Chain A
Amino acid sequence: MITLIAVAPILSLLIWLPVIGALIIFATGDASEASARSVRWVALWTSLVELVLALGLLAAFDPQRTGFQFVERLAWLPQAGVSYHLGVDGISLLFVVMSALLTPIAIVASWREPRRVRAYMAAFLLLEALTIGMFESLDFMLFYVFFEGVLLPMYLIIGVWGGEQRVRAAIRFFLFTLAGSLPMLLALVWMWHHAGTTDMVTLMHTPISASAQNWLFIAFLFAFGVKAAVWPLHSWLPDAYGEAPVAGTVMLAAVLSKMGSYGFLRFSLPMLPQATLYFAPLMLALGVIAIIYLSFAAFAQTDMKRMIAYSSAAHMGMIVVGIFTLTVEGIEGALFQMISHGLVIAALFLCVGVLLARGQSRLLEHLGGLAVRMPVFATFLMIFVLANVGLPGTSGFVGEVLILAGAIKVNFWLALLAGSGMILSVMFMLVLVRRVLFDQSRSSVALAPPDVGAGEWLMLAPLAMLVLVLGIHPDALTVPFDRAVHGLVQQTGGVLAMKADLHHRMLAMVSR
C-alpha cells in the first residue's frame, strides 16, 4: 500500500476524487427521497475513501526528509512560467489529513438536512477538493485558484442552507474574503513579473527588495488576515459562523480559518523575511488584542454558537502570536494549535448541532439541566470545553505552552498578555458549561431529549479520542513538521541576526 502511494499521483488523486464524487452525485441524483438517500451514501463513501488515502499519505510521508514530497508537476502555461505543481511538506501534510478527516464528519452531521440534498453534498465534496488542493499547491497561480474557489461552495452553503440571516451573512462573508484576496492578486501579479514564474519553490528563493516586501506583506495580510479572522478583520466571522449550517460552521472554523494562518507560514515568512521581521511587532500586537478583546466579546454572548465562534477567533489570535514569535517553539506551537483548534472547535460546533437536532435552543438562557438528561453528551462537551481552555492532557495545552515558550523569548509581557487567554477562556467556557449542563432549564420545551445517538457517537468519539491522544502523545504531530519548521525558521533566520533589533522595538512598543 505504502509503496503504491509512493508511485501513484496521490496528491492529484486527493484533489480529483471528491470532484468525481460530486459529479456522480449530480449525474445520478434527482429530487426524489430515494435519490437523496443514495446521494448521502455516495458522499460519505467518497469522503471515507479520501480519508483512507490521506492516512496512507501520512503513513508514506518520510518525516526525516526536508523539502517537498510526492511532488507532481505538469506544464500548464509553460511560456508564462505557470505549472500544475503539487507537493506536501510536514506543514501542509497535516492540514490535508485534517481536511480529509473533517469532511466525512461534516457529511454525517448533515445527514438529516432535508433541503436540496444533492447540491448540499456536492458542495461539501467540492469544498474538500478545493481546500486540499490549496494545501497541496506549489504554484502560486494554482494556489490562488483554489484559495478563491473555496469561496464558491462555502458561500452557497451559508447562503442556501443557513439560518434566518443567511443571505446577509453569506454576502458579508463573500465580500470580505473577496476584498481581502484582491490585494493578494496584485501581489501574485507583481511577483510573477518579478520572478518570471509563479512557482512557489522558486519564489521562496527569489530575493525581493525590502520596500517591495513591505507592500507584499500588507497585501498578504489582507488576504490571509480575513480568512484567519485576525482582529480587526474578524467582523464577518460571528455572522457567518452563527448563520451557517452546523457542518458549514465546522468547515469554516476548523479548516478555512487555517487557510489564513497556513498562508502566513507558506508565503509571508519564507518569501518576505525582512517584512516579516518588520511587521512582527504589529502582528504580535494584533494577536494579543484578538485574544483579549474577542474573549471579552465571547463573555458577553447569549447565543451558544456565537460564543464558541468568538472563542474560536480568540484562539486564532494565539496562533498568530505563535507564528510571529519566529521561534521554533512558537511556530511548532502554532501549528499544533492549528490542528488542535481544528479538532476542538469542530467538535464544539458539532455539540451545538446535537442540541439543535433535538429542537433545543441555541440561546443559553433557554438551555440547562442537560447533565442529568444527556450524560454522554455532557461528558463529550466537557472534554471539548476542557481542551478549548487548554487543560494539560488535552491537545489544547500542548500548542498553548509551546506558543508561550516562544513568546517569552520575545518579551515577558507578550507571554503574559497572550497567556491571559488562559484565564479569560475559562471564564466564558465555564459559564457556557454551567448554563448548558448544570443550571435548571428555564425553557418550556424541556422534554427529555434522547442522549447521543449512534451517528453522533461516530462524529464525536473520534474527535475526543484524538484530542486526548494528542494531548498525551503530541509527538504524533510534532515529528512530521519538526524538520519543516526548523527549515522555515532557518530560512527566515537569514535576517534573524537582526533579532536584537526586533527585541528592542517590541520592548519599546509594549512598554509604551
Chain B
Amino acid sequence: MLLEIAVFAPLLGTILAVLLRASGSRAGAVWSSVALMAVSALAAVAVLVRHLVAHVAMHDVALGAWIHVGHFVTPWSLREDTLSLVVVVMVSVVSALIHLYSVGYMAHDRTMPRFFVYISAFTFAMLMLVTANNLLQLFFGWEGVGLFSYLLIGYWYDRASANAAAIKAFVMNRVGDLAFLIGIVLIYAQFGSVSFNQIFAAVPQMVSHHYSLFGDAMPVLDVIGVLLFIGAMGKSAQIFLHTWLADAMEGPTPISALIHAATMVAAGVYMIVRMSPLISSAPGAMAMIAVIGGFTALFAGTIGCVQNDIKRIIAYSTCSQLGYMFLGAGVGADQAAIFHMVTHAMFKALLFLAAGSVIHALADEQDVRKMGGLWRKMKITYVTMLIGALALAAIPPFAGYYSKDAILAAAFANHSGPALFGWVCGVLGAGLTAFYISRLMILTFHGAPRGDADVHAHAHESGWTMLVPLLVLALGASFGGMLLDRPFVGAGNAAFWGSSIVPPANLVLQLSVPVPAWVADLPLLLALVGFGVAYVFYVIRPSMPVALAKAMPGAYRFLLNKWYFDELYDSVFVQPSKRLARVIWRGADDQVIDGVPTGLARWTTDFSLQMGRAQNGSLAVYSFVMLLGLLVLLSLFLVVR
C-alpha cells in the first residue's frame, strides 16, 4: 500500500490543485500539492526502509491491464525492488523539497497553481517510469515526463525564446524516443514480450541471434542496446542530442533543479541500468555507451568553462555529469552509475536552487559577469552552494567524490579500449569540472559587485521556504557519499541491491579491484589543479582569461558557441525541412498531384456554372450533376452486363 501511496499521492495532488485552482483557491491549490508531495516522500522512505529491513523479495504490485493484443500484453503495475525504491525515494524527496522551495520562488507568479499542477504531474509520471515492470509502462512515464518538461520549459509562454526552447526540447526528445520505441517493438518481435522478467530470462538464448540490417547480420542484442541507448541519449542530453538541455534553462529555476538536473534527465541512465541484464550481453552497445558517456563528460565540461549564464554553466555541468553516469553503466558498474545519480541529484539540485536564490535576490539577473560580492549578503545561500560546488568537484569528503571516484576506478579496472577512452575523458573532465564551478563561485560571490549598484543594494537572503530545501540538500551533499558508499558500491553492495542489479560474472569484481594509487588520486589532483587555475584566472590575475581568449579567438568562439551544434543542426535539419515542406506543398501537391484533377474540376465547374446560369438556381445545378452521375453509372452498368 505504501508504494501505491508514494506513486499516486502526486497524481492526487495534481487533481486537487486543478480543482482548487478552478474554484479560485490559490493557496489551497499550492499547499495541497505540497502536502501530498510530502506524503509521497514519507511513504517512499517508509517503503524503502521496510524493503531493506524486512528483506522483502522483489515483487510487482498489479494495478490492472493496459494493452492486451495477441502476445502484446502490458499491465499497469508497480515494481518493488531496491533499484526502483532507491530512485523512487530520490525522486519523491527531491521533488518534495523543490515543491516547498517553489512556494517561495514562484510567489510573485500570476499563474502559480498551474506551476504546481505541472510539477506534481511530472513527479507522478517520473514515478510511473521508475516503478514500471515492463518497457511500455516505462515508455508511458518517459513520454509523460517529456510532456511536463515541455510545458514547464515553456511555462512563461509570453517569451518567444521559452516557446522555441520548449518545442526544441520536445522534438529532440522525440528523436530519441523514436529509437527507443523501435527498440521496444524490436524486443517484442524478438522476445515475444515487453515485460522485464520475460526479456531478462530469455537473454541467454538470444546472445547468438542475429538481425539483418544494412545488408549485414548483426547481433540482435547489440541492435536493441544501441536503439535503447539512443533513446537514453535524447532524454539524458548526451552529445548529438544534447542541445535542448541548455535552452531548457528558459524554464523557472526550480524546474531546472528538479527536471533538468535531478530526475528526468537521469531517466536515461536509469533505463540503461534497468535494462542492464540485456545490455551487458551486448558488447557493442556497451562500448558505445562508454564512449559516448565519457566523451560527453569531457565535451560538455569544455563548454561549461566559457559560458556566462549561471544556469547554463550548471546545465552543461549536468550534461557532463550524466556522461559520467553513462560511462559507469557502459563499463558494467551499474551500481556506481546509480550512486552518482543519487549524489548528483542532491548536489546538482542544491546548486540550481542556490543559483535560483541568487537570481531571485538580483531581480532575475543570470549573467555571472554582472554578479560578484554576494557572499556577505546571502550567507546561507553561499555556504550551501559552496558545499554543492565541492561535492560537484569531487573533493573529499563531499558526496560527489565517492561516486565519481567509483565510476572512474571501475572504468580503469575494466581496461577495455572504450573504457580506457572514457576514463581519460572522465579524468580530464574532472579538472574542467573543478575549474568551471570555481569560476562560477568566484564570479558570483567574491570580488567587487559588477552589476547594477541599485540591484546589488537590494539583494537579500531568501525566505525560509527556499532556505530549508537548501539546508536539507546541503546535508545530503555533505554526508550522502560517505553514508551510501558502503551499501551502494562497497562491501555491502551485493546484499543491498539483491536481484535488482546483477552484473555479469566478469564484471562483479571490478568494483572491488584495487586500482593503482596514482589512478585513484589522479582525478582529485586534476580537480585541485582546476581550482588553482580558476583562482589565478579570476582572483589573482583577472586579465589572464581575457588575454587567453584574445590569443586563441578561434578556440574561444568554438567553445562559446557550444561547438556550433545549433548552427549545424539548423543548416542540416531545420532549414532543409522548412524548404522541403514548402516544396511539397506548393510544388508537388498543388502542381503535380493536383494538376490533373484540378483541370478536370475546372472544366466541370465551368460547364455546370453555365448550366447553372441557364437553370437559374444552384440547387438545380447540383441535381443536374447528380443526374449526370447516375446516368454514367447506369450506362456503365448496362454495358458491362
Show the binding face of A for B, using Cβ within 8 Å: 148, 152, 155-156, 159-160, 167-168, 171-172, 174-176, 178, 182, 185-186, 189, 232, 234-236, 238, 293, 296-297, 299-301, 328-329, 332-333, 371, 386, 391-393, 397-398, 401-402, 404-405, 407-409, 412, 415-416, 419-420, 422-423, 426-427, 430-431, 434, 437-440, 472-475, 478-479, 482, 511
Flag if B181 contacts A404 (CB, 8 Å).
yes
Per-residue CB contact flags for chain B residues 107-141 toward chain A (1 = under 8 Å, else 0) read: 00000000000000000000000000000100110
Residues of chain B having any CB pair with chain A under 8 Å: 64-70, 72, 76, 136, 139-140, 143-144, 147, 150, 154, 157-158, 160, 163, 166-167, 170-171, 174-175, 177-178, 181-182, 184-186, 188-189, 211, 213, 215, 577-578, 580-582, 584-586, 588-589, 593-594, 597-598, 600-601, 604-605, 608, 618-619, 622, 625-626, 629, 632-633, 636-637, 640-641
| Known A-B contacts A172-B601, A422-B177, A422-B181; A299 and B577 likewise in contact (beta carbons under 8 Å) | yes
A337 to chain B minimum Cβ distance, whole angstroms, is: 12
A299 B578 Cβ-Cβ under 8 A: yes
Give the chain B neighbours of A168 by CB distance below 8 A: 601, 605
Distance A479 CA – B600 CA, assembled complex (angstroms): 46
Q: A168-B605, A333-B69, A404-B185 given; name 8 further pairs at CB < 8 Å.
A: A155-B626, A189-B641, A235-B589, A328-B69, A407-B185, A420-B178, A439-B160, A472-B66
Q: How far is the CA of A474 from the CA of B189 in the complex (A)?
A: 21
- Pull 14 A–B residue pairs with CB atoms less than 8 Å apart, ordered by A: A155-B622, A391-B144, A392-B144, A393-B143, A401-B185, A404-B185, A405-B188, A419-B178, A419-B181, A423-B171, A438-B157, A472-B76, A478-B67, A479-B68
Q: A405 and B185: CB pair below 8 A?
A: yes
- Report how far A299 CA is from B69 CA in the complex, Å: 33
Contact present for A235 and B629 (CB under 8 Å): no
Q: Which residues of A contact B171 (CB under 8 A)?
A: 423, 426-427, 430
Give the residues in chain A near B160, CB-CB below 8 Å. 439
Once the chains bind, are A297 and B636 in contact (CB under 8 Å)?
no
B residues near A235, Cβ cutoff 8 Å: 589, 593-594, 597
Residue from B189, B605, B641 whose CB has the most chain A CB atoms within 10 Å: B189
Would A185 and B633 be within 8 Å (CB), given that A301-B585, A427-B171 are in contact? Answer: yes
- Would B174 and A423 count as touching, CB distance under 8 A? yes
Chain B hits for A420, CB < 8 A: 178
Contact present for B589 and A297 (CB under 8 Å): yes
Residues on B with C-beta less than 8 A from A416 are 178, 182
A332–B636 touching, CB < 8 Å: no
Q: Are A405 and B622 in contact (CB under 8 A)?
A: no
Contact residues in A for B601 (Cβ distance below 8 Å): 168, 171-172, 175
Bound form: Cα–Cα A155–B578 in Å: 35
Report which of B66, B69, B582, B618 forms a contact with A329, defined as CB distance below 8 A.
B69
Tell me the bound Cα distance from A431 to B70 in angstroms.
37
Smallest CB separation, A510 vs chain B (Å): 11
Partner of A392, one of B140, B186, B641: B140
Known contacts A171-B604, A422-B181; A392/B139 CB under 8 A: yes
Q: Are B136 and A401 in contact (CB under 8 A)?
A: yes
Cβ-defined contact, B215 with A296, below 8 A: no
Which listed residue, A393, A408, A434, touches B186 by the CB 8 Å rule?
A: A408
Instruction: Point out the residues of chain A lying under 8 angstroms from B181, CB to CB.
Output: 401, 404, 419, 422
A152 touches B626 (CB 8 A): yes
Chain B residues, Cβ within 8 Å of A475: 65, 68
Contact A431-B167, Cβ < 8 Å, known A328-B69, A332-B69: yes
Rounded to whole Å, the gap between the CB of A342 and the closest CB of chain B is 19
Q: A182-B636, A391-B143, A440-B158 are in contact. Are A329 and B70 (CB under 8 A)?
A: yes
Chain B residues closer than 8 Å to A185, beta-carbon distance: 633, 636-637
Q: Which residues of A contact B166 (CB under 8 A)?
A: 430
Contact in complex: B143, A392 (CB < 8 Å):
yes
Across the interface, which residues of B come within 8 angstroms of A472, CB to CB? 66, 76
Q: How far is the CA of A431 from the CA of B175 in the complex (A)?
A: 17
* A475 shortest CB reach to chain B, Å: 6
In whole angstroms, what is the CA distance A155 to B604 when docked?
Answer: 15
Closest to A176 in B: B597
Q: Out of A301, A404, A422, which one reaches B174, CB within 8 Å?
A: A422
What residue of chain A has the Cβ atom nearest to residue B595's Cβ? Answer: A235
Q: How far is the CB of B27 from chain A (nearest CB, A)?
A: 19
* Closest beta carbon of chain A to B129's beta carbon, Å: 11
Which A-B residue pairs are the 9 nearest by beta carbons? A300-B581, A438-B157, A392-B140, A300-B585, A299-B581, A328-B70, A235-B594, A296-B581, A172-B601
B154 to chain A: which residues have CB within 8 Å? 438
| Contact present for B178 and A423 (CB under 8 Å) | yes
**Contact across chains for B170 and A297 when beta carbons are under 8 A apart:** no
Residues of A within 8 A of B622 (CB): 155-156, 159-160
CA distance A511 to B216 in the complex (A): 12
Which of A148, A297, A439 is close to B584, meaning CB atoms less than 8 Å apart? Answer: A297
Distance in angstroms between the alpha carbons of A474 and B163 in the assembled complex = 33
Q: Is the CB of A186 within 8 A of B600?
A: no
